[in-house]
Structures are given as C-alpha cells and as structure tokens.
Amino acid sequence: MWAFTPSIAGRDAPSSLGPDLVLVVSNSRDNAALPHVAVLALAGAPATDLTVLMEAGDPRPGMTVDVTKNRTIPKRWLVSCEGSITRKKMREVFAAEIQYRCPEPE
C-alpha cells in the first residue's frame, strides 16, 4: 500500500487533502524493471461486492480496495510505503478483481 502524489499535469483531480492511497498489484520483478506500476485505488467508501475491506491488522483498517479503479502510474509518483497486506488479503483482492472482469454467466 503506497501514498502517491501525481504531478499536476497528470492528476485526475487536484486535491488539497494530501496524497492519494493505492495498492500496488503488479509483481516485484516487473516493478523493478518497468517505469510504471499497476495499482488499485483505496477509498473510505463502504464495502461492496467490487471492493475488499481492509480489516484490523491491515495497514489502513476501514478503507476499501476498489477493483474497478485500476490503472498504471509512474513509479516516481510513489511517495511513501504505508504498509503491506497479507497474502490472504491479496488473494481476496485478486478474487474480487477476477469476479469483476470475468463475471459468471447468468
């Protein structure tokens, strides 16, 4: 989980609230080799079927990872590491992302 501050030119919506929070979901090998990282947005919104709730023991309890808000950002925007989530929580995130991208037929 990282805080990032985009350059003004690349910012979707300027914020006076400080850095945005994201969960880096690309793997470490790619992150070391490439200038960008794949991320999912974190928000304070209530949990839904397309979000994963950060719980006690996670870096930001009460926040949600929104699997519908994925993007790549330049690594230079990353400001500070806010903590790591467990492998179990990362599996929950990937499962929610798969559910979003590949819904089961009705």
The model's pLDDT over 55-104, given as tens digits with 9 standing for 90+, comes to: 988 988 999 999 998 999 989 888 899 999 999 999 999 999 988 888 77
Per residue, the 3-state secondary structure of 25-48, as one string, reads CCCHHHHHHCCEEEEEEEECCCCC
pLDDT band at 7 (very low <50, low <70, confident <90, very high): low
Confidence band (pLDDT; 50, 70, 90) for 36? Answer: very high
Q: What is the C-alpha to C-alpha distance for residues 41 and 13, in angstroms, rounded to an integer?
A: 14
pTM of the model: 0.81
Which percentage of the chain shows pLDDT scores above 90? 39
Q: Say how far apart CA 59 and CA 105 lie, in whole Å.
A: 35
Alpha carbon 3 to its chain's center = 10
